[in-house]
Amino acid sequence: MTREKAFLARPSERYKDSFIAAVYEYIREKRTITWHPEILRTRFDEYLRVVRQAETEPLAGYVPASQFWLIADGAGYIGDVDIRHCLNESLKRYGGHIGYKIRPSFRQRGFGTLICKLGIERARRLGIGDILITCDDDNIGSARIIEANGGVLRDRVDNGRGVLTRRYWIGAGD
pLDDT tens for the chain, residues 1 to 174? 556 689 999 999 999 999 999 999 999 998 877 888 889 999 999 999 999 999 999 988 899 999 999 999 788 999 999 999 999 999 999 999 999 999 999 999 999 999 999 999 999 999 999 999 999 999 999 999 999 999 999 999 998 888 999 999 998 755
3-state secondary structure of 1: coil
Cβ(144)–Cβ(173) below 8 Å: no
Q: Can you give the pLDDT at residue 21?
A: 95
SS3 91: helix
pTM assigned to the model: 0.92
Which of 14, 142, 141, 145 has the alpha carbon at shortest distance from 75? 14
* pLDDT in the model for residue 174: 55
Domains and CATH numbers, the chain: 3-170 (3.40.630.30)
Q: Is 83 helix (H, G, I), strand (E, B) or coil?
A: strand
- Return the pLDDT at 165: 96
pLDDT value of residue 2:
58
Query: What is the distance between the alpha carbons of residues 169 and 151, in angstroms, rounded to a whole number?
Result: 5
